[in-house]
Amino acid sequence: MKIDLKKLTASQHASFPFSETIDLREETLYGAKPFQNPVQLSGEVSNESGILRLRGTIKAIYSTFCARCLKPLDILLTAEVDTVLSDDPEAEEEDDLFVLTSDSVDPADVLVPALILQVQMTYLCREDCKGLCPHCGADRNEVDCDCEKKQIDPRFAALRALLNSDEGDQ
């Protein structure tokens, strides 16, 4: 949805509300396509005494996996933006400024990058997730396997033999 800014600049205190649903299914992050549900945008573009400002919110379900046990997770991500719209190409250094390239603005161009900045590298299903057993692959949150008790690192096998011989001497 493109918003024509010429109409807003004609009036000192005009505003244009927007609300739309966009499709980000083809957006790739960390090798996956995590936005499989529609993404909601809402807000307004306003002219405040000659300064164009975009205020908006974007909400999405981020589909990923627990970094320890690989259970599927759906995380609600929300980002809020309050930025000034400028047509000055030299003003790119400002954090709260979006540089326009035409006489219109697509709110998704401003809000989607803010949403992507909310994504963390890893997520956990819960803080105390025990993860998967590196030997048998069992989910340690559901099953107590005894793989670590049975298996010894081959590099320590000689030490294990020494310990076993000391126990036999006693």
pLDDT 10s digits, 96-151? 778 777 888 888 988 999 999 999 989 999 999 999 988 888 899 998 887 766 66
Instruction: Judge whether 55 and 81 are in contact, CB under 8 Å.
Output: yes
Check residue 136 and give its pLDDT. 85
Which pLDDT score, from 0 to 100, does residue 89 have? 66
**Residue 65 tokens, joined:** 């996996």
CA distance 58 to 39: 7
Structure tokens at 119: 């994504």
Separation of alpha carbons 167 and 170, rounded Å: 6
Confidence label for 20 from pLDDT (cuts 50, 70 and 90): very high
Distance CA 42, CA 20 (A): 6
**pLDDT surpasses 60 at 167:** no
Check: pTM over 0.95? Answer yes or no: no
Q: How far apart are CA 107 and CA 40, in angstroms?
A: 11
